[in-house]
Every structure is written in structure tokens, then in C-alpha cells.
Amino acid sequence: MNNAGIGNFKDFFEETLEDWYRVINTNLTGPYLCSKYAARIMARRGGVIINIASTRAFQSEPNTVPYSASKGGLIALTHALAVTLARYKIRVVSVSPGWIDTSEWQIPPRRPQLNKLDHSQHLTGRVGDPMDVANLVAFLASDEASWISGVNFTIDGGMTVKMIYLDPNVIGEAVASLTGDDLLARGLAQALARWDALSDEERSALRRYFSRWLPSQ
């Protein structure tokens, strides 16, 4: 299994070619080389190569260019290897995890810093756990998956199929999820929806109230 990977989330215009190569060499060239030498041994009696990609191959946040590119390349490497190594009875698949909380798997372990909104935005109602990925990988490596090769499996609690448009209702739902206060959430959603219609006095009142929670300038 090719699981090693690093990120580099620098500003795009500050990123250097060295930064790019460091991520690509680790996340894409590394799996290529490991697969190449492992396949020489596997070719004697068959085997399975599993590449751990990422949902960043399909959707991105700002300043994730090398990481996203490397994971997209890893999925392409997967089907190319699958076709190339099929005659040696070597299956090749990739797994693309979404948000996986690894806090408790760190050295030393850390307490998860997750809130209700982190969990509720997933169709499954929670952020992923490393064992979610491990269970899928164990199946793909087993004989029960002997008819599967050359494909990618997305495991992300349903996030990549969920269309999200920011509007007052979405913000209200987020507030309700975080606070458990439906009245507050509905009030904020209505205020935002009617923002252009609010008087200067009403806007100032809202600004004064929320500015109390901001650090002093």
C-alpha cells in the first residue's frame, strides 16, 4: 500500500519549484517507484497494489496546487498500472479519503478539535475515522475483491456529492448546528436575507452587538 504523503499549503505566488517537486516526488514519484519494485516480486504469483489518493483530486481549496495535482496523478497512475500489470495477475486500485480525523493517531495522541458543524455537514453525520479507510483497504486487498482493478474508491461520508451554495439559510443551519439555538439561527438568517432592507440603525445595532466578540484593534 502506498500511503506516504505530504502537503504544502503555501500561497501560490510564493510557492517555489522546489516546493512543487517535494510534494510531487513524495506523493506521486514515491508510489511509482514503490510499485515498480514491489511489482517485480509480485509478478511471480500476483498481488495487489493500493494507492491512497484523496478527494483533493476532484475538489480543491485555495493554495493546494501541488497536493491536488499529486493526488490526481496518483489516480491516473493507478489505472495505468492496473492495465500494465494485469498480465502478471496484479490488481491496482486507489482509495480517496475525505476528511479523516487522525488526532488520536498522532504521536503523542491529541484530543480531536471537532465541532457539531464538522460532523453534520457530512451525509453520514460524522467526520471520518482512520478505521473507515482501513476497513475498505482490507477488503480491497482480500480475495473477495479479486474482480476489482483499475478503479478509485471515494470514501468521504458523502461530501463530494453534496452541492453547497452559501446563502442565509445555509448560514442559519450552520449556526443552529454549532449552537443548538434554532431561534438565534432563524433570526440571523432572516437578518442576513433582509440585510439590504435593514435601516442604518438596525445594521449598526447588529454590528455593535457582534463587535463585542472581536479582539480589540
Kindly list the catalytic residues.
67
Q: Tell me how far apart the alpha carbons of residues 192 and 134 are, in angstroms, rounded to a whole number.
A: 43
Amino acid of residue 77: L
Q: Where are the alpha helices (DSSP H) in 11-158?
A: 17-24, 30-42, 65-85, 116-120, 130-141
| Beta carbons of 192 and 171 less than 8 angstroms apart | yes
Short-list 50, 28, 17, CA closest to 153 = 50
